[in-house]
Amino acid sequence: MEGSVTDQVAIITGGGQGIGRAIALRLARDGMHVVVVDRQGAQAEAVADEVRTRGRQALALAIDVTLADARQVMLDATLERFGRLDVLVNNAAMQRAALPSDVTEEHWDALMNVNAKAVFFCCQVALRHMAAHHSGRIVNIASIAGKLASTIYHPIYNVSKAAVIAMTKTLALAYALEGIRINAVCPGVVDTPMQDIVDQEFARITGKSPAEIRAERVARIPMGRIEQPEEVAALVSFLVGPDSGYITGEAFNVSGGILAG
C-alpha cells in the first residue's frame, strides 16, 4: 500500500498558470514539495512563491519541455534540490485553431511536439528514475478532445490529446510491475488563460464574438457552468495519492458531464 504524500516531490510542467498552477497549489496543500516548470520563468517563480507561502518547498525552472537536454535538466535539478522524484504531472500544452483544410505541417508539428512528443519523453526521463526506485506516479493532462470531436476548429489539438491517452495506457502497462502508476485526466471547458485564447481563435474563424463562443461552449455542458482549474487539480490529487493505489492506465473525464451520453 502507498503511504502519505507528505514531503514527497512533484514536478508539474506548464505550472505557471491555469490548470498547472492549480495543481501545484493543491499538491502543496496535500503536503508535497513542488517543482514548477514553465517556459515563462517569471510565471513559474510566482507560483513557486505561492507554494512557499503554504509551507512547502518549491523550485521554479524555466524549461522548454520540447528539448531533450532541457528535460534532463528538469530531472537533474529536481534530484539535486530534493534528492527524490515521486510524481510527474505533464500539463504543458498549447492550442491553435484552424479548420482541417487549413492545417499546415508547421501547425501539426508545433502542437504535436508540445502536446504529445514532449509528454512522452518527459515520461521517459522520469520513468528511468522511478523504475530504479520501483515507485512513482505520473498523471498526464489530456482532454475530452482526445475522446470526442467536440469541435472541428482545433483538429490537431484533438489528435494530440488522443495520443496522450494512448501513451498513458501503453506506459501504464509497461511499468505496472515496477510499482509505477500512470493515469490521464481529461478536462472539458476550463476557465483558464488558454481557454480565453481558444475563444478568441474560434471567434476569428467563425466571425462570432469571444463571448458568444464561450456561451455556446458552456451551453453544451450538462452541469451548466464552466469548469474551474481547482476541479482538475482535485482529481490529480486523488490520482497521485494513496487512495488510488490500485488505479493505473485510466483516462478520467472531469468535464461536467459532457461525455455522459
Question: What positions carry a catalytic annotation?
Answer: 157
Which set of grid coordinates corresponds to residue 247?
488505479
Cα separation, 214 vs 220, whole angstroms:
10
Q: Residue 222 contacts by C-beta under 8 Å, 6 or more apart in sequence?
A: 256, 257, 258, 260
Owner of C-alpha cell 478520467: 252
- Which stretches of 129-179 are assigned E, i.e. beta strand? 136-141
17-20 LR contacts (CB < 8 Å, sep 24+): 17/43, 17/47, 17/192, 17/193, 18/190, 18/192, 18/193, 18/194, 18/229, 19/91, 19/141, 19/187, 19/190, 19/192, 19/229, 19/232, 19/233, 20/47, 20/89, 20/91, 20/92
- What separation, in Å, do the N-terminal and C-terminal C-alpha atoms of the chain show? 35
Residue matched to cell numbers 490548470: 19
The number of CA neighbours under 13 Å toward the Cβ of 141 is 30
CA distances in angstroms from 232 to 54, 108, 130, 205, listed in the order given: 20, 27, 24, 28
What is the separation of C-alpha 258 from the centre of its chain, rounded to a whole number of angstroms? 19
Q: Which three cell numbers stand for residue 206?
A: 467563425
